Amino acid sequence: MPTSRQATVLHAVLLVVAALLVVRIRTLPLALAAVEPDIRPELQYTGEDGRQYVYLGDYDSYLWIRHARNYLRTGTTCDAIVDGECRDTYAHAPLGRRMRYPRSLHIAAIVALNRVITLFHPGYPLPATSFWVPVVVSVLGVVPAFLLGLRLGGPLGGLAGAVLINVDPFFLRRTIGSDNDVWNVVLPLWMVWAATEAVATPDRTRRVAWMLVAVVFTALHAAVWRGWIFAAGVVGIGIAADAILVAARRRAVDRATLLDVALVLALFAAGAAAAAWTGGTEEAAQGATVAGSIWPNTFETVAELTHRSLNEMAALSLGPAYFVLAVVGALLVAVGIRTTDAPGRAGLVVLVWLVAAFARASAVRFLLLLVAPVGLLAGVALGRVYGALHALLARRLAGTALLAVTAAAFALVAAVAVPAVRGGTKVARDYVPRMDDAWWDTFVHLRDTTPADAIIDTWWDYGHWAKYIAERRVTMDGASLRTHLPYWLARALYAPSEREALGLLRMLNCGSDATPEPEGHAGAWGKLVDRGVEPRAAQAMVLALASLDRAEASAYLTAHGLAPDAVEDVLRSTHCTSPPSYLVLGEDFARLVGWRRLGTWDFARGAGTDTGYLWPQWRPCEAWTDGVTWQCRIGRPVDASGRVLLGLLYRTDSVMLTQAIFQRPGGTPGRADQTGTPGLLLVAGVDTIDEIPFPNPTDPGLGFLIDTVGRRVLAGPPALLRSTFTRLVFLGPKHSLYFTRVDDRVGKWGERVVAWRIEPAS
């Protein structure tokens, strides 16, 4: 048996090995190894120090670094403080909103780390600093993960648990880009570790001390995420369950036991209450409803919030095999709960954690809650297996033979974690930032060429980018999903006429529609509802107003029974002279199903009509020798049945003879075995578009846009092809009256990013 000193050295070595592995994997994205060398420069920027840095990768990271920049510039994360309220004046333009997480620990960490780094490296970019925060936090999380695994599964359990948590592919994807999710794995690890130490120690003073540690980490978690209550609940339930089991084993509850339990729970409850007062809860932050019962739920269009089966979510994480291994670890821990020793009592809290996480993980977003307990208990299973092997070998071998064989057994059991390490390494090595030169330079151009009060209209995913890089107000961002704003912008992009699109964008830039937030009352819809108009009728009225000039709109509102003062009030939110406004679109928007579903939302049916199986992408056409037939190859599935649209035969002399060519479901790949007629054909000339509907089409949900100048075709849903989005992104300025192109760039792998100035209607 190793001495206490030898064991301590071994544990320290294993802890360092785990930490170094975490650092190694988490820094792999900086190499851009999965990107061709000629593309890498498009994914890098030049810092103030003249050096090249990889772009910070995801969307929400730019929220945190903007707040951090605010603090470094002004000493506060707030853009303004109005009546004691911290305001984000760049969101929900032109009104702004209450700033969420103004005192986030994530912001504080970025600021603190940047100050330390710039002491030694002046000019080190803030985005580059932000990249290192998850690296540092993950390394700090190795400590409680290792100690928990060590207590429950021995040295190998500690090493394997710490490693499996940190190589989880889902955890890496969620945190490499420097969003705040890293804290939502690491801080609960510290909380649970402190709680297990509290229940495992027989000394009351030490128990209270450990609970104070748990309370501290609970408060820190509340300063990061309003969903902190989940981990706090796990700790509270685990402590209570431990007390119940202890009492059951003793078959009586003595006064000292009651006092211990009451003291610990009261202490933790007080800490949790203080955390709730400081950080709030997710329910309080979200409000009572999503956005009113008649409105589409934008959250249902977010991929990470879609419901998946447990098997599907396991595949996104470590994989089904490691989930099974975690269940084995849980069963082994559960067996030990019957005892009163430290590992048995500590294991109960971890079991509560796993069960609660499985119960909560109904959507991909909440898979993050499973990362720590699954990785930890899978590691414990490996540790317990090795422990059993070691005990068996120790009864039969001694000396050098025992050392050699047990070392081999250690390596053999540890090898089970190797596939997970390889998987995590691949995710990190293949990581590519979403940001590139095209998006960055577009927003820089707008920052340098637009007035300070300008408003940028873009889809919510890109709102935080625009706020940080362009330093301009935006219609919406990633914190706007509970409001009506995503619907209205999607409807503007889907508008069949530029006049309607212009009116909807003007409405947003005059008064927004941030319902159900307080600012929603300043929007046109909120004003109509406040004056007694039925919500669905108010939505239809705002949509109708968009295509009318001010005089027509005034008459329309008057005809619907509004008093003169109410008419003028609503018009201030629909027909004002808005600040200078710019629309930024990416060609890749066409594949995003979310805005397409919202943009085609039918309030009567309560559903969107764009299924998203086919999105526009230019395909070249070849002229046949007959001089009148064009063959355009497409090759994309068109519906859930598996039917493939192989191409189009377009007749220039008689467009009504145009035919779509299909491959039936289950047919020979590439073989045409079905023809049909589309629901719509749009023929674009130099500056005109002719719309040709087909009578009795076989495929009414399919349309084609023929560019006769470029001899190419777009295939997609008819509503999308005739939309303002398609005209602006795919056809360009000659087909636009109210939008002036001010910037046009091509990013990595060919995605176009286009910026338009929105012109006032004549």
* pLDDT tens digits, one per residue of 65-94: 999 999 999 999 999 999 999 999 999 999
Tokens 């559903």 identify what position?
Answer: 607
Tokens 């603090």: give the residue: 71
Least confident of 4-8, 109-113, 663-667: 4-8
The DSSP string of 598-625 is: HHT-BTTTTB-S---S-----EEEEE-T
Q: What is the residue-wise DSSP string for 311-354? A: HHHHHHTT-HHHHHHHHHHHHHHHHHTTS-SHHHHHHHHHHHHH
Q: Are 345 and 199 in contact (CB under 8 A)?
A: yes
Residue written as token pair 């925060």: 133
Residue with tokens 């998987």: 423
Question: Residue 268: what pLDDT?
Answer: 66
Q: H/E element holding 262?
A: helix 255-279
pLDDT (0 to 100) of residue 396: 76
Mean pLDDT of 569-595: 93
Q: Which of 86, 92, 93 is nearest to 517 (CA)?
A: 92
Is pLDDT of 252 > 60? no
CB proximity list for 289: less than 8 A, separation 6 or greater = 516
The residue-averaged pLDDT of 405-424 equals: 84
Mean pLDDT over the full length of the chain: 89
What is the arrangement of strands in the sheet containing 85-88, beginning at the earlier edge strand?
80-82, 85-88, 97-98
698 close to 676: Cβ distance less than 8 angstroms: yes
501 with 493: CB under 8 angstroms?
yes
Would you call the peptide bond into 169 cis, given omega within 30 degrees of 0 as the criterion?
no
Gyration radius of the chain's alpha carbons: 30
**How much is the pLDDT for 283?**
42
Taking residues 116-131, report their average pLDDT: 95
Reduced to 3 states (helix: H, G, I; strand: E, B; else coil), residue 705 is strand
Cβ contact 443:569 at 8 Å = no
Least confident window among 33-37, 178-182, 361-365, 507-511: 361-365
Q: How far apart are alpha carbons 523 and 515 in whole angstroms?
A: 8
Please give the average per-residue pLDDT across 205-225, as a whole number.
86
Cα-flanking dihedrals φ and ψ of residue 124, to 5°? -65, 125
Q: Which residue, chain included where needed, has tokens 């939309």?
A: 723
For the record, the structure tokens of 241 come out as 């369950």
Q: What is the DSSP letter of 33?
A: T
Instruction: Please check whether residue 127 is in contact with residue 48, taking contact to mean a CB–CB distance below 8 angstroms.
Output: no
For the chain, the farthest-separated pair of C-alpha atoms sits apart, in whole angstroms, at 99
Amino acid occupying residue 101: Y
Q: Which of 109, 115, 101 is nearest to 130 (CA)?
A: 109
Please report the pLDDT score of residue 292 as a whole number. 46
What's the CA gap between 194 and 188, in Å, rounded?
A: 10
Q: Tell which residue, 475, 447, 543, has the closest CA to residue 503.
A: 543
Angstrom distance (rounded) from CA 745 to CA 736: 19
Contacts of 702 (CB under 8 A, 6+ apart): 614, 638, 645, 660, 676, 678, 679, 715, 716, 717, 718
Q: Which amino acid is at 106?
A: H
Specify the pLDDT at position 279: 53
> Cα torsion at 524, 527, 531, 534 (round to 10°)?
50
Per-residue pLDDT tens over the stretch 598-647:
999 999 888 888 777 788 889 999 999 888 999 999 999 988 888 999 99
pLDDT at res. 409: 74
For residue 337, pLDDT over 80 is answered with: no
> What does the pLDDT look like over 143-184, one tens digit per residue?
999 999 999 999 999 999 999 999 999 999 999 988 999 999
Terminal-to-terminal C-alpha distance of the chain? 88
Closest CA to 67 of 114, 21, 121, 20: 114
Q: How sure is the predictor about 394, in pLDDT bands with cuts at 50, 70 and 90?
A: confident
Mean predicted confidence (pLDDT) in 350-373: 87
Q: How far apart are CA 312 and CA 622, in angstroms?
A: 43
Q: Give Cβ neighbours of residue 6 (< 8 Å, ≥ 6 apart).
A: none
The stretch 578-590 carries a mean pLDDT of 93
Q: Is the backbone of residue 336 left (phi > 0), alpha (psi -120 to 50) or beta?
A: alpha
Rounded-to-integer distance, Cα 712 and Cα 730, Å: 11
* Range scoring the smallest mean pLDDT among 24-38, 137-151, 328-342, 692-706: 328-342
Between residues 207 and 512, the one the model is more confident about: 512
Residues of the chain with pLDDT > 70: what percent?
Answer: 92
- Higher per-residue confidence, 724 vs 389: 724
pLDDT in tens, 369-386: 999 999 999 999 999 988
> b/e string for 554-583 if b means 16 or more Cβ within 10 A?
beebeeeebeeebbebbbebbbeebbebbb
What is the three-state SS of 618-678?
CEEEEECCCCCEEEEEEEEECCCCCCEEEEEEEECCCHHHCEEEEECCCCCCCCCCEEECE
**Strand, coil or helix: what is 682?**
strand
Least confident of 87-91, 138-142, 216-220: 216-220
In this predicted model, what pLDDT tens digit does every residue of 666-707 receive, in sequence order? 888 888 889 999 999 999 999 899 999 898 999 999 999 999
| Rounded-to-integer distance, Cα 549 and Cα 534, Å | 24
Q: What is the pLDDT of residues 281-324, one digit of tens each?
A: 554 334 334 444 689 988 888 877 777 778 888 888 999 999 99
Tell me whether residue 136 is exposed, middle or buried, using C-beta atoms within 10 angstroms of its C-beta: 0 to 12, 13 to 18, 19 or more. middle
In sign, the C-alpha dihedral spanning 465, 466, 472, 477 is negative
Nearest to 183 by CA among 219, 225, 213: 225
The residues facing 684 across adjacent strands are 689, 707
Residue with more model confidence, 238 or 269: 238
Q: Is the pLDDT of residue 278 over 70?
A: no
Report the alpha-carbon distance of residue 136 to residue 130 in Å, rounded: 10
Strands 689-693 and 699-707, by their bridges, are: unpaired
Q: Where are the domains of the chain?
A: 4-31+130-286+309-430, 469-580, 596-758
Q: What is the mean pLDDT of residues 118-132?
A: 95
Q: Tell whether the model's pLDDT for residue 528 goes beyond 90.
A: yes
Per DSSP, the residues of 387-445 read HHHHHHHHTT--HHHHHHHHHHHHHHHHGGGHHHHHHHHHHHHH---S--HHHHHHHHH
> Which pLDDT does position 236 carry in this prediction?
82
